[in-house]
Amino acid sequence: MATYAAKVRSTGVDGGTIRLNSRGQLTAGGVMEPFSAGTSGGAPSVFYVDGNVVSSGNGLGWLSAFKTVEEGLLAAHTYQSTSGNRAWSHRATVYVVGDELVEDLTVFAEKSDIIGVGSTNQHFGPRIDGTHVLVATSSDTYHGCRFFGIEFYGAAAGIIVDIPADQNGICFHGCKFSAVDGATIGIRNTTAQDMKITDCYFDPNTSGTGFATAAIQVSAGIITNFLLQNNRIYSGGIGLDFDPTTGQAINCWAIDNVMYTTGIGIDSEDNTLGLLVVGNRMITATDTTTYTAGFDFPLRRSLGNIITGQDETDMVPNVISGAAANSA
């Protein structure tokens, strides 16, 4: 299991002396530090990962980049968790580039932005091949970790990203989750606040079956301020399986997603009233004669959705025929 090592930086990105410019911004060598927020000692918080380097460096620049994402996460988390840095209200940044980094991540980084740059083959951003089951102990807190433009490729059957309970503010923006044969779930999360999944792709495997259980699964527990918006989802099971403890979901939204599923598009259970379902486009391959088998959420918590089943396409809720016409 990974542990957080001491990888705190003491200089600017280019190794220069940290100074304040006339606007009060941190600079090193005359260049403003990207995404970094200084500490009482002036140390920035930007780290670099290049999976194509021969050996790992100190992570302070592209010419001395870490070789693994895990090292970058450990460095960012250590910076955030060292009390002398006074970094609690700041964010660390990890830039990642590389073709098919083979890693099984077990930790994320608190209050850190993990940003994919470059490309992998014809695809945008770096690709991480692995299944990422995060450890859950009192010393490992990943609150506020955000991923941008990274492909999570399931290198083995099972769940690609499995987040333990009470890890708040973990977000994925512009990322891709690619299924392999035997993939069950793209992202699983439970009992958390402020999770955001936006502008992401959930892609099938080469046989076109996708995720056998669900692309995204929110399990039993308390969930608040959840947002699933502008995603493209292809799933061999459910698109969004939203099933927190009854009465324990507050301000949760599924907005403007487009999905193809062989099962239910969005399943929030009839007794779970905390998810608002607005403006989604769902295609279900469920082998029935009616589209109503393709969704399961309370109509009184939905607005402006369109669903296509085997023989029908209609609005959900059906504003012409009334709620009774398309109650799931």
Residues 48-100: tens digit of each pLDDT: 999 999 999 999 899 999 999 999 999 998 888 765 555 567 789 999 999 88
Residue 294 CA, distance from chain mean position? 25
Residue 155, pLDDT > 60, answer yes
Contact assessment for residue 154 and residue 181, using Cβ atoms and an 8 Å cutoff: no
Residue 214, pLDDT > 90, answer yes
Task: Give residue 27's pLDDT band: very low, low, confident or very high (50, 70, 90).
Answer: low
Name the residue with higher pLDDT: 275 or 44.
275
Task: Give residue 139's pLDDT band: very low, low, confident or very high (50, 70, 90).
Answer: low
Task: Give residue 220's pLDDT band: very low, low, confident or very high (50, 70, 90).
Answer: confident
Residue 38, pLDDT > 50, answer no
CA distance 166 to 33: 32
How far, in Å, are 125, 151, 279, 285, 301 from residue 163 at the CA level? Answer: 22, 17, 27, 29, 27
Q: Beta strands 183-193 and 158-162: pairing type?
A: parallel
Looking at residues 312-325, what average pLDDT do you find? 67
Residue with tokens 């061999």: 236
Name the residue with higher pLDDT: 23 or 184.
184
**pLDDT at residue number 87:** 56
Task: Give residue 255's pLDDT band: very low, low, confident or very high (50, 70, 90).
Answer: very high
Closest CA to 168 of 100, 79, 108: 108
Name the residue with higher pLDDT: 82 or 300.
300
CA distance 141 to 143: 6
How far, in Å, are 133, 177, 180, 306 from residue 156 at the CA level? Answer: 12, 13, 7, 34
DSSP state string for 213-278 = SEEEEEEEEEEES-EEES-EEEESSEEEEE--STT-EESEEEES-EEEESS-SEE--TT---EEEE
**pLDDT at residue number 122:** 83
pTM of the model: 0.84
Name the residue with higher pLDDT: 20 or 278.
278
- Note the pLDDT tens digit of each residue in 105-125: 999 999 999 999 988 888 888
Residue 3, pLDDT > 70, answer no
Name the residue with higher pLDDT: 285 or 239.
239
- Note the pLDDT tens digit of each residue in 185-198: 999 998 989 999 99
Q: Beta strands 112-116 and 119-120: pairing type?
A: unpaired
Q: Quote the percentage of the chain above a pLDDT of 90.
A: 50
**pLDDT at residue number 288:** 54
Identify any residues that bridge with 94 across adjacent strands, giving them in sequence order: 47, 114
Residue 5, pLDDT > 90, answer no
